Amino acid sequence: MRTIVLMLAFLWGISAQDECNARQEEYGLVCVCDASYCDQPGIIDFPEEGSFTVVTTSEEGLRFNVETFPVSSEQTPDAVVVTLDREDVYQTIIGFGGSFTDSTGLNVVGLPSEAQEYFLRSYFAPEGLGYNLCRIPIAGSDFSTRPYSYDDVEGDIDLVYWNLTMEDYNYKLPLIKRAQELSPYQIKLFGSPWSSPTWMKTNGMFNGSGILLKEMWQPWANYIVKFVEAYEAEGAELWGLTPQNEPLCYESDWAINCLGWSAEDMRDWLKTNLGPTLEAAGMRRLKMMVDDFNRDTLPSYVIPLFEDPECDQYIDGTAVHWYSDKYVSADVLDQTQALSPEKFLLYTEACQGVGEDGQYHVHLGSWTRTEEYTHSMIEDINHYSAGWVDWNMAVNRLGGPNWAHGSLDAPIIVDIDAGEFYKQPMFYGLGHFSKFVLPESQRIHSVTTSNSVETVAFLDPTGRTVVVLLNTGDSEIDVTVNDNSGNFLNFKTPAKAIQTILH
């Protein structure tokens, strides 16, 4: 795959790495892009045998800085040592990416056409981050300008009036199609519903604490099949589905789009309605990922589903959100994986800006949020996650739009009035994984000798080694990577930095 990417880069005339057009904002540095210019990392490949490449992003201002060093026969004295075991192999990586929300699309299409192209290249092209795994809300979510479904005609159980909306045709599908054209990979798309039509629910609302009326279990399964058919007819082939975003939302009165499912009801709906309906439509090829909620729901939510053979046959993996990562041990990921080792774990939503004090907003240029993201990605992957999917790929300066008056952060912030967008440090932090850890890579065992240095390591599909490292400390340190081959990779890690090592 790397060879194909390099060939495409040559044909497209992609230049070497572009410099960040840096601007100091309230919380740190951003890289400014407009219709005339946007920095791109360029193509960064493995170096020749006998050397290794270190790619660095730091709080101080480095953005994908590339250096190549010779391999040494000795390690640096007093260095922090990262030890790898290439024989101790774990999960296979599915991919990394973000979500095609209505808010992302609305912000992007508000930019000049040249800036739109820079935006999509930044995420999907070989010279950008190489996103290959993306989520699509099925109809509306909170990050829409209005609450809606694909069939708001009361009582239409035969779904005669079911149809895609202007949001799909204006904000989602155009971006998806261009991303597919730019990517050297087949982008894995998966859909997730937030709410059914209001007339299918007990509370008659898009939000709140409603659940699906029992007599609507089959119409709702048919609705989801129609979504897959409609998107694939538009050229957006689906790779997977989650049956519900955050299904335990019914336990409280939610302000955003919501449809509640107990684990037992989800089990019964999957085995009697959704699973057989997808299979009858020839869609069992789609990867079905259950839970799609935070760590604190694991493993309890999935146990009834896995323990029922009629339900379990339709399940391929467990989807996880990151919002309780700070408070719940990663051991629950190991426990979930152990329940059904043939299934995968995948982080399917993450977003900064959810504050404990109830304040939701953009912190433009924040390194703290980048470090938190990177820490979670390293931890989650070291506990079996096969990838990581971010939430909005872009929001505006106010963290929206959001019909429920919410506000969240994103790796890219768009200012339509200025005709600009701003790559936050989070954008580059995500890229240290998505750009270098390719699909079909395998995680290998890694350990460090310092609490301030976190790491995760992989075997590339070509058999070479990729290491992602986070230095949370306040000073530069010496690091040695030891893969027990007799060779040592010696380099320096700046304070507050993320590095990817290619060897």
E-state strands within 282-361: 287-294, 317-321, 344-349
On whether the CB atoms of residues 131 and 122 are closer than 8 A, the answer is no
On whether the CB atoms of residues 144 and 195 are closer than 8 A, the answer is no
Q: Which residues are catalytic?
A: 246, 349
Alpha carbon distance 210, 59 (integer Å): 44
Cis peptide before 309 (omega within 30 of 0): no
- Rounded to a whole number of angstroms, the distance between the first and last alpha carbons of the chain is 17
Q: In 3-state terms, what secondary structure has residue 271?
A: helix
Interhelix angle 173-182/113-124, nearest 10 degrees:
60
Q: In 3-state terms, what secondary structure has residue 211?
A: strand
Which DSSP letter does residue 449 get? S
- For residue 42, the one-letter residue type is G
What's phi and psi for 224, nearest 5 deg? -70, -40
Residue in 51, 75, 54, 58 with CA at minimum distance from that of residue 20:
58
- For residue 68, the one-letter residue type is T
What's phi and psi for 225, nearest 5 deg? -60, -40
On whether the CB atoms of residues 295 and 333 are closer than 8 A, the answer is yes
Give burial (CB, 10 Å; 0-12/13-18/19+) of 296. Answer: middle
- For residue 464, the one-letter residue type is R
Cα–Cα distances (Å) from 181 to 82, 124, 178, in that order, read 38, 9, 5
Beta bridge partners of 387: 95
Cα-Cα-Cα-Cα torsion 234, 239, 243, 246, nearest 10 degrees, comes to: -100
On whether the CB atoms of residues 274 and 224 are closer than 8 A, the answer is yes
**Residue entry with tokens 């709702």:** 220
Give one DSSP letter per residue of 87-131, joined into a string.
EEEEEEP-EEEEE--HHHHHHHHTS-HHHHHHHHHHHHSTTTT--
- 384 φ/ψ sector (left φ>0, alpha ψ -120 to 50, else beta): left
